């Protein structure tokens, strides 16, 4: 539906690779991912940044409800987003939502575009930080934990996960819901801090913020805390620099 003055594609014969972002889960986490992607890219002006298309369909059904409470599946909506990104000609896809990775294989089967797995990005960051040798503490949705999104994928690399005990996990889940509702306060941050301290006392080395809502309230660059959103952004940048 291009009209009038649109020049022939040939005028821009080799556009740079475009990153597809399957976002909306939730939308604030998507914005945070895009901000971190930009902040971490070595660029002196706009044109050196990574091209991206963001599909921010916030009405994708809740992932946790689907896994734990037989809520409607988010898969059809996620596949529609993937199809749209594919039609936009993206070279690879990032999904800044950890819980959505429960359906990673189903999504990857349905698109020819490679999807960058967020847990692989976290694993690379853990390796770079020399954070192996001790179990990692995992703050994530109850669905991410029960579905083994991290445990299964890290175990094959010899990394053990340590998760909060039930009461603490309920507190983490409550914090995630509050952040999705727009909350951002000291009480949330200090509540999460207490949960992390207990994980450390049980033997955790690094703590992984394995839900992309959590970095929205937890301070950047807190020592020993690994932000899965930032790790995913870094892996996207690494792949784009390697391939361009």
Strand partners, 19: 52, 92
101/104 Cα distance (integer angstroms): 5
Q: Which of 32, 168, 227, 235 binds a second copy (CB under 8 A)?
A: 32
Half-sphere exposure of 39 (CA within 13 A, CB side): 11
Tell me which stretch binds a second copy (CB under 8 A): 107-115, 139-147, 148-156, 203-211.
107-115
Active-site annotation holder among 55, 163, 211, 236: 211
Tell me if residue 211 is catalytic.
Answer: yes
Single residue of 22, 26, 168, 205 touching a second copy by CB under 8 A: 26
**Of 16, 9, 103, 90, residue with least CA distance to 55:** 90
Looking only at the bridges linking them, the beta strands covering 207-209 and 225-227 are: parallel
Least distance CB 140 / a second copy (angstroms): 16
> Across the strands, what pairs with 137?
162, 207
Our CB check for a second copy shows the closer of 3 and 186 to be: 3
> Is 241 among the residues that bind a second copy (CB under 8 A)?
no
Give whole-number Cα distances, 213 to 13, 50, 52, 188, in Å: 39, 23, 21, 12
What is the rounded end-to-end Cα distance, in angstroms, of the chain?
30
**Judged by CB under 8 A, which of 10, 13, 38, 121 binds a second copy?**
38
Whether 97 sits among the annotated catalytic residues: the reply is yes
Q: Is 24 helix (H, G, I), strand (E, B) or coil?
A: coil
Question: How far is Cα 11 from Cα 15, in angstroms, rounded to an integer?
Answer: 10
In the list 10, 22, 37, 207, the residue contacting a second copy (rule: CB under 8 A) is 37
Among candidate residues 55, 97, 161, 163, the one labeled active-site is 97
Task: Say whether residue 114 binds a second copy (CB under 8 A).
Answer: no
* Pairing label, strands 225-227, 92-94: unpaired
Q: Does 14 engage in binding with a second copy (CB under 8 A)?
A: no
Compute the least distance from the CB of residue 138 to a second copy, in Å.
22
Among 10, 69, 70, 109, binds a second copy (CB under 8 A): 109
- Whether the bond into 26 is cis, omega within 30 of 0: yes
Structure tokens at 217: 């309230």
With CB under 8 A as the contact rule, the residue among 67, 95, 102, 106 that binds a second copy is: 106
Active site residues: 97, 211
Q: Can you give the binding site for a second copy, defined by CB under 8 A? A: 1-7, 11-12, 15-16, 18, 21, 24-28, 30-32, 34-35, 37-39, 43-62, 75-77, 79-80, 83-84, 86-88, 106, 109-112, 177, 180-182
């Amino acid at each position: 539906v291009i009209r009038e003055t649109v020049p022939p594609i040939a005028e821009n014969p080799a556009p740079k690779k475009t990153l597809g972002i399957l976002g909306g889960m939730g939308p604030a986490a998507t914005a945070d991912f895009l901000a971190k992607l930009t902040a971490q890219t070595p660029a002196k002006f706009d044109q050196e940044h990574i091209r991206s298309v963001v599909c921010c369909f916030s009405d994708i059904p809740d992932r946790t409800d689907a896994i734990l409470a037989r809520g409607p599946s988010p898969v059809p909506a996620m596949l529609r987003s993937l199809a749209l990104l594919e039609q936009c000609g993206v070279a690879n896809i990032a999904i800044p939502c950890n819980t959505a990775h429960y359906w990673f294989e189903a999504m990857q089967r349905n698109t020819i575009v490679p999807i960058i797995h967020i847990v692989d990005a976290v694993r690379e960051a853990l390796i770079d930080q020399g954070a192996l040798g001790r179990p990692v503490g995992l703050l994530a949705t109850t669905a991410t934990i029960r579905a083994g999104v991290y445990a299964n994928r890290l175990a094959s690399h010899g990394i053990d996960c340590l998760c909060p005990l039930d009461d603490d996990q309920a507190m983490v889940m409550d914090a995630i819901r509050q952040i999705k509702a727009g909350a951002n306060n000291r009480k949330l941050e200090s509540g999460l801090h207490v949960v992390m301290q207990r994980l450390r006392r049980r033997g955790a080395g690094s703590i992984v913020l394995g839900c992309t809502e959590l970095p929205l309230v937890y301070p950047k660059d807190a020592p020993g805390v690994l932000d899965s959103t930032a790790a995913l952004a870094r892996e996207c940048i690494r792949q784009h620099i390697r391939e361009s």
